[in-house]
């Protein structure tokens, strides 16, 4: 089986001295630990790179031409229809960066646990910052919002009903073209929520009602884990998601991410130059990224609010 690296000690006995002598060891672990730590790349699509930290796009672009198909007589001219445009928008990327430090004392006394703790703290802090940016973006008032039928931590909660209601809002989204049968044809396929909501789902009779007969072995009460799909939609959880609301969406359609500077982590280097880590007797590694986030199809999502009573 492949080895999953979650700390600098995985895969063999390593000392802090080994790390300072192998400058690429810590940045390699940082990149590995940050890969998949955020749900941004699960919800949004990769729009490719950009060179200046700016991405222009159009919000809610209709998916139909501005003219309809016409019947054309023999030798008649085929009409040309123009593409319709959405609302012009611009998203700006901000550089996010943070460094960790290894001291000579940590090296000489082999304080490996302190190194591992700093690595985990760096990953958590970088992930939290990106999720904060995503949450601010998704509070776009153009994204529809519906209230939960009842808070999910109360006896009257109807979790599946709420999820299906949000799905219906998304499926019913129409562009403002004046044509009654124009539609975006969005299909909700993903639910994003705070990981702390898991116990509410496992304690809700309506949510668990379908796990009978042939499905009884998949009952989350017995397995202890959420099913792969929730109402036919993939479930995503994050510790840094809002606790009072749940997002239902068509993933990858809702919006995009575009990197000016992809995630990078520098080799460990001595601060200030000189032997033994320079005048501060320490070595550091800098992790940074410059990414643009944007929501160009806000009607491909719907918030369910009020899922907690407090």
- What is the predicted pLDDT for the residue at 276? 86
List the one residue out of 306, 161, 158 whose CA is nearest residue 245: 306
- For residue 11 the two structure tokens come to 């895969």
Largest CA distance in the chain: 89
In a domain, 130, yes or no: yes
Tell me the pTM.
Answer: 0.82
- For residue 131 the two structure tokens come to 């999720």
Confidence of residue 195 (pLDDT cuts 50, 70, 90): confident
In a domain, 159, yes or no: yes
Relative to beta strand 54-59, strand 87-92 is: antiparallel
Q: Mind listing the pLDDT tens digit for each residue in 213-260?
A: 444 445 544 444 556 677 778 888 898 999 999 999 999 999 999 999
In a domain, 290, yes or no: yes
In a domain, 3, yes or no: no
Average pLDDT of every residue of the chain: 85
In a domain, 21, yes or no: yes
In a domain, 35, yes or no: yes
Calpha distance 269→257 (Å, rounded): 31
Residue 132's alpha-carbon distances to 108, 201, 301, in angstroms, are 38, 25, 18
Q: Mind listing the pLDDT tens digit for each residue in 130-175?
A: 999 999 999 999 999 999 999 999 888 898 899 999 999 999 998 8
Average pLDDT for 193-203: 83
- For residue 276 the two structure tokens come to 């033994």
Calpha distance 201→197 (Å, rounded): 7
**Does residue 282 contact residue 124 with C-beta atoms inside 8 Å?**
no
Confidence of residue 31 (pLDDT cuts 50, 70, 90): very high
- What is the predicted pLDDT for the residue at 69? 85
Asked if pLDDT for residue 286 goes beyond 80, the answer is yes
Domain of 141, CATH number, reads 3.30.2320.10
Calpha distance 147→300 (Å, rounded): 17
Calpha distance 174→177 (Å, rounded): 8
Q: Which residues are paired to 293 by β-bridges?
A: 257
**Does residue 292 contact residue 92 with C-beta atoms inside 8 Å?**
yes
DSSP SS3 for 64: coil
Domain count, the chain: 1
Calpha distance 160→200 (Å, rounded): 12
In a domain, 10, yes or no: no
Q: Is 160 exposed, middle or buried (0-12, 13-18, 19+ CB in 10 A)?
A: middle
Residue that the structure tokens 């009779």 belong to: 205
End-to-end CA distance of the chain: 44
- What is the predicted pLDDT for the residue at 221? 47
Range of 32's domain?
16-66+80-305
Confidence of residue 62 (pLDDT cuts 50, 70, 90): confident
């Amino acid at each position: 089986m492949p080895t999953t690296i979650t700390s600098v000690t995985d895969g063999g006995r390593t000392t802090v001295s080994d790390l300072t002598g192998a400058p690429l060891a810590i940045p390699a672990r940082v990149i590995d630990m940050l890969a998949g730590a955020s749900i941004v790349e699960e919800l949004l699509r990769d729009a490719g790179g950009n060179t200046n930290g700016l991405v222009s796009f159009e919000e809610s672009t209709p998916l139909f031409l501005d003219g309809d198909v016409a019947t054309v007589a023999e030798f008649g001219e085929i009409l040309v229809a123009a593409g319709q445009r959405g609302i012009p928008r611009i998203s700006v990327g901000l550089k996010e960066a943070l460094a960790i430090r290894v001291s000579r004392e940590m090296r000489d006394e082999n304080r490996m646990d302190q190194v591992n703790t700093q690595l985990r703290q760096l990953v958590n802090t970088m992930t939290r910052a990106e999720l904060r940016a995503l949450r601010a973006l998704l509070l776009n008032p153009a994204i529809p919002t519906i209230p939960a039928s009842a808070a999910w931590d109360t006896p009257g909660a109807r979790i599946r009903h709420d999820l299906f209601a949000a799905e219906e809002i998304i499926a019913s989204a129409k562009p403002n073209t004046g044509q009654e049968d124009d539609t975006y044809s969005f299909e909700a396929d993903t639910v994003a929520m705070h990981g702390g909501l898991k116990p509410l789902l496992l304690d809700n009779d309506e949510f668990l009602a379908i796990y009978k007969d042939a499905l009884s072995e998949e009952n989350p009460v017995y397995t202890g884990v959420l099913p792969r799909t929730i109402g036919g939609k993939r479930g995503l959880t994050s510790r840094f998601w809002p606790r009072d609301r749940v997002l239902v969406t068509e993933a990858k359609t809702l919006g995009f991410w575009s990197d000016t500077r992809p995630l990078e982590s520098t080799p460990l280097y001595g601060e200030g130059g000189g032997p033994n880590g320079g005048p501060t007797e320490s070595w550091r590694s800098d992790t940074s990224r410059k990414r643009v986030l944007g929501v160009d199809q806000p009607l491909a999502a719907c918030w369910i609010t009020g899922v907690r009573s407090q």
